[in-house]
Chains A and B, each alone.
Chain A
Amino acid sequence: MAKLTIPAQELMYSGHAACPGCGPALAMRLMLKGLGPRTILSIPACCWTVIGTPYPTTALRVGVLDNPIEATGASISGLRAAADALGMKDVNIVGFAGDGGTADIGLQALSGMLERRTNAIYVMYDNEAYMNTGIQRSGATPWGAWTTTTPTSGGLHGKPEAKKDIMGIVLAHRPAYAATLNPAFPEDFDRKVERARDIVGPRFLHIFAPCPPGWKFDSSETIALGRLATDTGVFPLYEVVDGQLHITRKTGELKPVVDYLKAQGRFRHLAGDDLVTIQTQVRTDYERLLHREREDLSRPH
């Protein structure tokens, strides 16, 4: 019998308020398995504010501090400072924020936390729009995606700007550890969480978090869509330790991006040149990643 590599412990209770097939819920569940119970989360306004269930209940078997949407980076700096001042040992301090709360309004506090080398993990769970407020575009929404503020009526093509490269921004701060994670690959996900847990310094996890109502796909398809995201090169899995980039899942030839796009209603309006544009961009980005990996490996360290 195969050995289970994912920790059996459950720190996320049933009874949470997530939608069926919710990527952010899977992300939280898997992340807490890897981190264990001695974890304090700081959560800004985001889907998880609500998923975590209202006062006086909680869906998580760890400590949770709510914070305003733009302040997660600062909040985890404060938690770590207090833990150090009070002599609290062996506690994971973790910010768990959405893409809007990280790549848009929370970018300054994130940058501050990384720059001052706060010993904490910052997680951006990426459902690629402001989902909790009703699917408005964020800086992390990909090019061409429909959202309620990037409509496709009147021949418009959804979001006219590219997705913000949050990993590029984070890596420019030279974090102790940074990785991309996808709940569709739970072994890889858990290994990265545990690796992050055991490293000292500022750590960043970018988690792919599909949103069935926001992306317009059936809630039974979350994992299948997640696998497509990585295997088409849209969301490649890699980690960067001490500046060395390593791609953690390679499948040889990438699957066509159109397989990923056609599985979601938010890209339904795209055709022809639009699909070619996206495919070209994904391939270029993926090749750039391969190039970076080769460069890092050949560099003496």
Chain B
Amino acid sequence: MTQKVLSGNYAQSYAAMLARTQVISAYPITPQTSIVEKLADFVASGELTAQYVKVESEHSALQVCVSAAALGARTYTATSSQGLLLMHELLHWASGMRAPIVMGVVNRAVAPPWNIGADHTDTMSQRDTGWIQFYAESNQEVLDTVLESFRLAEHPDVRLPVMVTEDAFYLSHTVEPVDVPEQSVVDAFLPPRESHAILTPGTASRLGSFTGPDHYVEFRRHVADAMERVPNILTIVEEEYQRATGRHHGGALPTYRTEDADAILITMGTATTTARSVVDELRASGRKVGLARLRLFRPFPDDEIRQLASTVDRIGVVDRSYTFGRMGPAATEVSGALYSASHRPALTSFLAGIGGRDVTPHEVHAMFETLLSGATPSTHWEDLEEEVKVDG
């Protein structure tokens, strides 16, 4: 093991290299660029033996990965924001073709207006594409999750693509010490991909094809079943990763000081780190608050959410994006999970940090105060600036 000072983006690059990715394809977009630049360096220096296909769009980047995966290669790409939106069509192709692609996504706001700050609208709007989605809190977790994701994606009971996301700039361009496992450790944890490739030169075969109603629904059901198997397989993969490296990131819904809590906030990504310090502060003054983090968003950790809700009366969900006409997307998911819970706490959807606005301790404080006061509005835009006026 070596400790390096890495940005979240370089953590992605190092993980893709350690995974011995065979085909990389990417198109540049801020703030993803340093991921693919570093990978270009690795390939140029010979540290990584991979085919690196530099394409003319994100749509093509993901198509290259889908086609390369169809032939049996281990593939990686990375994107952000508008690039992910352009990939949307191919996201469905990747999951439908059961392509075990791993993709780094730097969560960034979508236009208009142009904004390159942290925001989850890009990946939230891809919830229904059949991709497994992880949201990382630290650069170490980025690296570890990318490696775990290859195992998960290529597992014969899963064979689905995975997004490993990180907040723009808070992780993508912020450096911190990261333990980088030795190649031999990664090789033992992640052997070469066992190909289930249908396409083989010299044989009649077709991947994709077309069907009428007589087969289509069964194909979709296969994807649904694979998604349902993810939680159990993730548990195994994380345990094996822990044995190999000593690190474990807490499964689908890591929790913090939730025992006996009167109010719990559910966060995603880097807002969690801020919220954790606020929990410590409030706990120190005798306020019973706790925290849970949606590390895995697809498949959604329904069981863990219901377990969390069983002992608390107030839950707030902090979303860094908004579903127009509804509420924060994570809040809608939590709300859905709670419907069949034996105990249903009051639920508030907090919107904060949208478009790269900082989620400050002050705001997290206010969220907990709102919950503890007993006022439980359904939706609350926590960091709107009343004095800021824009044309609408």
Contacts and interface: CB of A to CB of B under 8 A. Distances in A.
Interface stretch (B28-36, B55-63, B278-286): B55-63
Interface of B: 22-23, 25, 50-51, 53-57, 59-61, 63-73, 75, 89-90, 93, 198-212, 215
Interface stretch (A19-27, A75-83, A151-159, A274-282): A75-83
Contacts of B59: 70-71, 74, 109
| Consensus secondary structure, chain A interface | mixed
A86 B194 CA distance: 12
19 contacts: A55-B206, A58-B204, A63-B200, A63-B205, A74-B60, A78-B67, A78-B68, A81-B23, A82-B71, A82-B75, A86-B73, A90-B201, A109-B57, A109-B59, A109-B63, A111-B56, A112-B55, A116-B53, A116-B55
Contacts of B61: 74
A76 B199 CA distance: 13
Interface in A147-178: none
Nearest to B51: A81
B41 to A, nearest CB: 19
A238 B387 CA distance: 69
Given A39-B201, A63-B205, A77 B55 contact: yes
B67 A75 contact: yes
Nearest to B57: A108
B201 A38 contact: yes
B189 to A, nearest CB: 21
Nearest to A66: B208
Interface of A: 37-40, 42, 49-50, 52, 54-56, 58, 60-68, 70-71, 73-79, 81-86, 88, 90-91, 108-109, 111-112, 115-116
B60 A84 contact: no
B206 A82 contact: no
Given A68-B93, A82-B73, A52 B206 contact: yes
Contact of A63 (B51, B55, B203): B203
Contacts of A38: 201-202
B55 A65 contact: no
Contact of B56 (A62, A64, A112): A112
A38 B205 CA distance: 12
B206 A68 contact: no
Nearest to A45: B210
A293 B202 CA distance: 38
Contacts of A54: 209-212
Nearest to A111: B56
Nearest to B49: A85
Given A63-B199, A64-B199, 19 more contacts: A38-B202, A55-B209, A60-B204, A65-B208, A66-B208, A71-B63, A75-B63, A77-B67, A78-B25, A78-B53, A81-B23, A82-B22, A82-B23, A82-B68, A85-B68, A109-B59, A111-B56, A112-B55, A116-B53
A74 B55 contact: yes
B67 A84 contact: no
Q: Which of A70, A85, A88 has the most CB of B within 10 A?
A: A85
